[in-house]
């Protein structure tokens, strides 16, 4: 009889441990969910800020900003090649959940893009990044 009682107590302890573990995991999950919601909101705010600047960039730099997918922006520069001002120079940027900028495509390719990408991550100066990318595209035509 005492063996059954010990087994029952052991099972009860395991049950309580599992319940405590499940509760802890729920709390961790809730914390992570709140963090993700905050990061997603911050990313959406960044995308909105960039999109608000689109009018200025488009009129002054002949820059078009497109949104091909969620959390991606495609930048299309024109008026760079004086022989063909309509010729597009493009790059596509992905904004990670952590708020890091990652260039996922560039046409024509720029050898210095990894350095430009690193600098924008360090400084978070996106306007300077766009100006530097345009400058490098222009340098291809010299």
DSSP-derived letter for residue 95 is E
Does 68 have pLDDT greater than 70?
Answer: yes
Mean pLDDT, rounded, for 111-116: 96
With H, G, I as helix, E, B as strand and everything else as coil, classify residue 25. Answer: helix
Bridge partners, residue 107, by sequence: 90
- 98 neighbors 117 (Cβ within 8 angstroms): no
Mean pLDDT, rounded, for 82-98: 89
**CA 26 to CA 48: how far, in whole Å?**
32
CB atoms within 10 A of CB 68: 9
With H, G, I as helix, E, B as strand and everything else as coil, classify residue 56. Answer: helix
Does 4 have pLDDT greater than 90?
Answer: no
Does 133 have pLDDT greater than 80?
Answer: yes
Mean pLDDT, rounded, for 20-24: 93
Under the banding of pLDDT at 50, 70 and 90, the label for residue 142 is low
Q: What is the pLDDT of residue 129?
A: 93
Preceding omega of 35 cis (within 30 degrees of 0): no
């Amino acid at each position: 009889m005492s063996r059954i009682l010990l087994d029952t107590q052991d099972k009860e302890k395991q049950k309580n441990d599992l319940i405590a573990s499940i509760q802890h995991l729920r709390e961790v999950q809730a914390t992570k969910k709140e963090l993700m919601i905050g990061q997603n909101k911050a990313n959406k705010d960044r995308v909105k800020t960039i999109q608000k600047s689109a009018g200025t960039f488009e009129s002054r730099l002949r820059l078009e900003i497109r949104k091909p997918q969620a959390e991606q922006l495609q930048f299309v520069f024109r008026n760079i090649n004086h022989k063909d001002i309509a010729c597009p120079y493009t790059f596509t940027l992905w904004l990670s959940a952590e708020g890091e900028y990652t260039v996922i495509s560039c046409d024509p390719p720029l050898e210095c893009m990894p350095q430009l990408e690193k600098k924008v991550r360090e400084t978070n100066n996106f306007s300077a990044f766009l100006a530097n990318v345009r400058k490098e595209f222009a340098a291809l035509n010299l």
